[in-house]
Amino acid sequence: MKILSDEEVSLLPDTPYNLWVRGDLDDYVDTSEGSRIEIIGGQVVVSPPPEFPHNAISGDINYAFVRAHVLQPDYAWRTDQGTGLSLIGVGDGFIPDLMILDQEVFLAARRSDVRTLVPDQVELVVEVTSYSNAKYDRQPTGKGRGNNKWNGYASAEIPYYLLVDRDPKVAQSILYTIPDQTLGAYLHQEAWEFGETIRLPDPFDIEIDTAEWKPWSE
């Protein structure tokens, strides 16, 4: 993982957020293929490409939603992987591992040829932690308290945030709900140990099998 220094940021022709929204920031940041460039808490954060165990978990969650859509043609939810989420007003730009959108919102965005999504379009975000950058996904505590994705999603009033924490000391999936925009915090959470079935409540009403989920290898 790499964070651009103040000096590197000062050499950019525009703010990192404006460049990110236009899709131009990649041209000014030296990265390996497949890396993610995000604006988190105002910092330019470059993360390495996720590994297979990480992607397998986000794929399992995606599969659960796709399966529900196949079994129930009127199922209201669609998934998106890899699109940027622009936090208008906050000045951050995230690339969640998975986003869940209402079917009609999904189709409207598709027909509008948008580059990135905005919080009003998204009902649930999913992040799967990796060893190098887990602190950006978690609820900050102690010295780590500050602006990260957990704060950003809450400030943007994303209704649901599912965090899959692969740290061997945690090995849990945590669903955060009731975002408080003023505090930049979620006020409620529910957790499942790896191996337990995640049961997402209404409006999703689906189960996610976690039998194959494992912590990262240290």
Q: Which residues contact 132 (CB under 8 A, 6 or more apart)?
A: 1, 47, 48
Q: What pLDDT is recorded for position 32?
A: 84
**177 bridge partner residues:** 160, 188
Calculate the CA dihedral of residues 20, 25, 30, 32 and round it to 10 degrees. 50
Q: Which of 168, 188, 147, 191 is nearest to 38 (CA)?
A: 147
User: Class of 52-208 per CATH?
Assistant: alpha beta
Domain positions in the chain are 2-47, 52-208
The two tokens of residue 104 are: 């009609």
- Per-residue pLDDT in tens (0 to 9) along the chain, 218 residues: 899 999 999 999 999 999 999 999 999 998 888 899 999 999 999 999 999 999 999 999 999 999 999 999 899 999 999 999 999 888 999 999 999 999 999 999 999 999 999 999 999 999 999 999 999 999 998 654 568 999 999 999 999 999 999 999 999 999 999 999 999 999 999 999 999 999 999 999 999 999 999 999 86
